[in-house]
Amino acid sequence: PPPYTGVWMGDSKLCAIGVHCGSHITSHGLALNCCTDLSWFEHIVPCGLEGKGVTSLSRELGQHVAVSHVLQPFLDSFQEVFECTLVSSEEPG
């Protein structure tokens, strides 16, 4: 929910998106929770957001969702949305 970044399912974050700038280096990334062991998040305040939770595709869909099942559709959608061609030195997975 605004003003928070990422992809949310109600009050639970499904995907974190981040950018870091420092020492003349910019890095960015995302973390999509597919079949993550969510119990680890019980020991921290995820993303520093009190009262917010974390979820996964597996929890939301009620079935195991492996990264290998999501990777290619995600890459295809990324290329479409950002109108680009992704290049990799190795095959995904």
Question: What's the confidence (pLDDT) of residue 82?
Answer: 92
Q: Which domain holds residue 25?
A: 7-65
pLDDT at 91 over 70: no
How many Cα neighbours within 13 Å face the side chain of 18?
Answer: 9
Summarised one tens digit per residue, pLDDT across range 62-90 is 999 999 999 999 999 999 999 999 998 77
Summarised one tens digit per residue, pLDDT across range 20-34 is 899 999 998 989 999
Q: What residues are labeled active site?
A: 47
Q: Is residue 22 part of a domain?
A: yes
Strand partners, 8: 13
Q: Based on the structure, what is the number of domains in the chain?
A: 1
Question: What's the confidence (pLDDT) of residue 2?
Answer: 67
Strand partners, 7: 15
Summarised one tens digit per residue, pLDDT across range 39-69 is 999 999 888 888 899 999 999 999 999 999 9
Q: Is residue 24 part of a domain?
A: yes
How many Cα neighbours within 13 Å face the side chain of 42?
Answer: 4
Q: What is the pTM of this model?
A: 0.79
